[in-house]
Amino acid sequence: MTPKVFVVSAPSGTGKTTLNTRLMREFPEIEVSISHTTRPIREGEVDGAAYHFVTKQEFQQMIRRGEMLEWADVFGNLYGTSFNEINRIKSNRHHVLLEIDVQGTRSIITQIPDAVTVFILPPSIEVLWRRLEARGTDNITDRWRRLLTAKQEIEVGYLYEHFIMNEDKEKAYNELKRIIVDGKHSSITHNQGVQYCKDLIAEFDTSKLLKSLKQKFEKPD
């Protein structure tokens, strides 16, 4: 088996981590790449499990030494994938699963052109907003900021080869398995996926809920 690199991206709240965790539990030969981050470690987290926690100075030194495959600044914290992490997984004859954002994907497809890219999307932006509310991890201002970030990510969805719409968890999981395990194309064609991204972006201007949120958070000074 030749290890492959899979990139799975999704706006925050779309269910990416849940789907990926189930996939790796069922197929141990697929291993997620553990990112480095400068964000503070949270209660219950273990260094080297969810993330490799480093200082901003350490992270910047890794960038200068050319050790990062991709990295990004997310809300003031640095996140990135090291070459060492990719090599570690491949040396175990495992496939590499990268849970990264759109900015990181740009770097990956440039440096690893045969990487398989997957974009998971919500059934609608309103549903995404409700999912962010249901998580209860952010205040309303942070949720709005995440929604705007989601819009920016969806605007460049054309970068991805495969698309999954996560309305039903079981169907979405089977689609992810179809792409990564079976090596087949997603049920949604690339053109359909790109059009779906455009429809989601248009929702920002047509949804009454989103219009009211926009008025609330973007009042003129």
Number of independent structural domains in the chain = 1
Assign 217 a pLDDT band (cuts: 50, 70, 90): confident
Whole-number mean pLDDT of the chain? 93
Assign 103 a pLDDT band (cuts: 50, 70, 90): confident
Residue with the two structure tokens 């995404």 = 128
Assign 137 a pLDDT band (cuts: 50, 70, 90): confident
Residue with the two structure tokens 């849970």 = 99
CA 191 to the chain's CA centroid: 21
Secondary structure element (H or E) that encloses residue 198, with its range:
helix 190-206
Residue 43's pLDDT is what? Answer: 87
Long-range contacts made by residues 141-145, C-beta under 8 angstroms, separation at least 24?
Answer: 141/217, 144/213, 144/217, 145/75
Residue 221 clears pLDDT 60, i.e. is over it? no
Residue 219's pLDDT is what? Answer: 64
Q: Are 113 and 100 in contact (CB under 8 A)?
A: no
Give mean pLDDT, residues 123-148: 91
Residue 194's pLDDT is what? Answer: 97
Tell me the per-residue pLDDT of 161-214, one tens digit each, with 9 for 90 and over: 999 999 999 999 999 999 999 999 999 999 999 999 999 999 998 999 988 888
Residue 79 clears pLDDT 60, i.e. is over it? yes
CA angle in degrees (0–180, nearest 5) for 38-44-50: 50
Q: Are 111 and 66 in contact (CB under 8 A)?
A: no
Give mean pLDDT, residues 29-34: 96
Instruction: For 196, list phi and psi in degrees, rounded to 5.
Output: -65, -40
Give mean pLDDT, residues 65-69: 95
> Could you say which DSSP state residue 43 is in?
T
Residues of the chain above pLDDT 90, percent: 80
Residue 1's pLDDT is what? Answer: 67
Residue 86's pLDDT is what? Answer: 95
Read off the CATH number of the domain in which 203 is found. Answer: 3.40.50.300
Residue 49's pLDDT is what? Answer: 87
Structure tokens at 153: 């990510």
Give the residue numbers spanning the domain of 133.
Answer: 5-217
Of 46, 207, 180, 25, nearest to 117 by C-alpha is 180
